[in-house]
Amino acid sequence: MKLGAAAAHVLTADRKSTELRPTAIVGRDPRVSGEMLAAALSAGLASRGVDVLRVGVIPTPGVAYLTDDYGADLGVMISASHNPMPDNGIKFFSSGGRKLPDTVEDEIEAAMVELNGQGPTGTGVGRIIEESPDAQDRYLAHLRESAPADLTGIKVVVDTANGAASEVAPLAYAAAGAEVVAIHNKPNAYNINDNCGSTHIEQIQKAVVEYGADLGLAHDGDADRCLAVDADGNVVDGDQIMAILAVGMKEKSELRKNTLVATVMSNLGLKLAMEEQGIDILHTAVGDRYVLEELNAGGFRLGGEQSGHIVMPNHSTTGDGTLSGLKLMARMAETGSSLAELARVMTVLPQVLINVPVPDKSAVMGDDRVAAAMAEAETELGHTGRVLLRPSGTEALFRVMVEAAEEESARKVAGRLAAVVAAV
């Protein structure tokens, strides 16, 4: 309740119109704690004079889209994304459906402490409208408009992780003409992400082969991610999906400045493949918010992460797993190629990641032994390898990532570097 009140205070402070009360869109994924958190947040928003439109269970990108489509002042998604059911989290969007910068999140946290109990009373308090009757239809119409391809003849298995896209994703794919087999699409408030979805890709690998499908698509709990599986059950990750879409967009002159935005954790194979295709890559820090910042700053049209967050700013203000799935199948339809054939545009290089516990993360990068070991590793790997050392943002760990043409080489170099980091 405090967070809802604080968000109302900060995110409606610069509102120009005084004729109508400010409005907020509130959505959630199916996990059980979302019910009480949505109620509490809605109460907090209303206590500060904000009218609340509850849109029920819907993907995170659906809330972002509806915040803009309804002309709301802010949007709230209650979800812990790919995390287990007991976890939950709250994501805010400003007007237009955009994620908040760190500074604004800090303002909201400060307001939680600073706000006193006095708010509007009587006719000044907000109204709470339970379950918008057309929210899902609006979002589905947006998806159809963003990816209008005819997918007739494509058979797809979709794993919705018993999450927010359990109803929307199968409907969107079927509306485009695909033959849809939905699995893990029966949320019961407790089974979200439970041995299913994009964090348990082995489930859809089996299902695609079992059903004889052309591909599989796996989403996470709030459906802002999409990973794919080809007809033989081979994983096609976010880097490969970006490569496929980037080549198609370049062919149609839709890839602004022939540039793709990706994080530093993207596979080196993506960079090498894009070089062959005449496409530049801009690398950002890890996190979809940093990808979004770079996309918006340069006016670019495609970006994302290896994990399956794919952002297409012409259609969405955040990663949209269902839209990514539609665009990927549209590329298959327009080329007449299988997903395996399309994925050959990129060779995924072996990537080894070791998490090293460290007492002081700040001391590692300043250590001369680490710098020397990195330089030696980079020389040894040459153009076909890469070394990345970075601190974890939330844990007392340092991440050592090495890519090489051969997995044995990557493991050897990563193990050597990890030993040096552990000794600091």
Most distant CA pair in the chain, distance: 72
3-state secondary structure of 13: coil
Percent of the chain with pLDDT over 90: 88
Distance (Å, whole) CA 165 – CA 62: 10
User: 3-state DSSP helix/strand/coil percent for the chain, to nearest 5?
Assistant: 40, 20, 40
Distance (Å, whole) CA 169 – CA 150: 16
3-state secondary structure of 181: strand
Average pLDDT, the chain: 95
Q: Residue 95 annotated as binding?
A: no
- Are 171 and 280 contained in the same domain? yes
pLDDT band at 2 (very low <50, low <70, confident <90, very high): very high
- Are 286 and 355 contained in the same domain? no
Q: Which residues are catalytic?
A: 81
- Are 146 and 285 contained in the same domain? yes
Which amino acid is present at 122? Answer: G
pLDDT band at 192 (very low <50, low <70, confident <90, very high): very high
Structure tokens at 279: 């496409």
Structure tokens at 222: 């709030």
Structure tokens at 121: 């009373």
Question: How much is the pLDDT for 320?
Answer: 98
pLDDT band at 15 (very low <50, low <70, confident <90, very high): confident
- Are 151 and 65 contained in the same domain? no
Q: Residue 73 annotated as binding?
A: no
Element counts in the chain: helices (H) and strands (E): 15, 18
- Are 270 and 161 contained in the same domain? yes
Which residues lie below 8 Å from residue 329, measured CB to CB, with a gap of 6+? 149, 151, 154, 156, 173, 176, 178, 215
- The closest alpha carbon to 266, from 403, 405, 414, 416, belongs to 403
- Are 339 and 253 contained in the same domain? yes
- Are 298 and 167 contained in the same domain? yes
State which residues form the domain around 22.
2-135
pTM attached to this predicted model: 0.92
Q: Residue 237 annotated as binding?
A: no
- Are 325 and 415 contained in the same domain? no
Which residues lie below 8 Å from residue 350, measured CB to CB, with a gap of 6+? 403, 404, 405, 406, 407, 409, 410
Domain containing 36 — which CATH number?
3.40.120.10
CB atoms within 10 A of CB 114: 10
Question: How much is the pLDDT for 167?
Answer: 98
Question: How much is the pLDDT for 366?
Answer: 85
- pLDDT tens profile 348-397: 999 999 999 998 888 888 899 999 999 999 999 988 899 999 888 778 89
Q: Show the CA angle centred on residue 317, arms to residues 196 and 238, nearest 5°.
A: 40
- Domain stop point among 343, 368, 401: 343
Domain containing 418 — which CATH number?
3.30.310.50
- Domain stop point among 343, 361, 386: 343
- Domain stop point among 110, 135, 160: 135
- pLDDT tens profile 239-290: 999 999 999 999 999 999 999 999 998 999 999 999 999 999 999 988 888 9
- Are 23 and 114 contained in the same domain? yes
pLDDT band at 17 (very low <50, low <70, confident <90, very high): low
Distance (Å, whole) CA 30 – CA 59: 10
Report the 3 state secondary structure along 203-235: HHHHHHHHHCCCEEEECCCCCCECEEEECCCCE
- pLDDT tens profile 108-154: 999 999 997 778 999 999 999 988 889 999 999 999 999 999 999 99
The count of structural domains within the chain is 3
Question: How much is the pLDDT for 383?
Answer: 83
**pLDDT over 90 (residue 314):** yes
- pLDDT tens profile 34-47: 999 999 999 999 99
- Are 158 and 278 contained in the same domain? yes
- Are 113 and 166 contained in the same domain? no
Beta bridge partners of 390: 399
Question: How much is the pLDDT for 79?
Answer: 97
Distance (Å, whole) CA 181 – CA 12: 43
- Are 37 and 88 contained in the same domain? yes
Q: Residue 224 annotated as binding?
A: yes
**pLDDT over 80 (residue 334):** yes
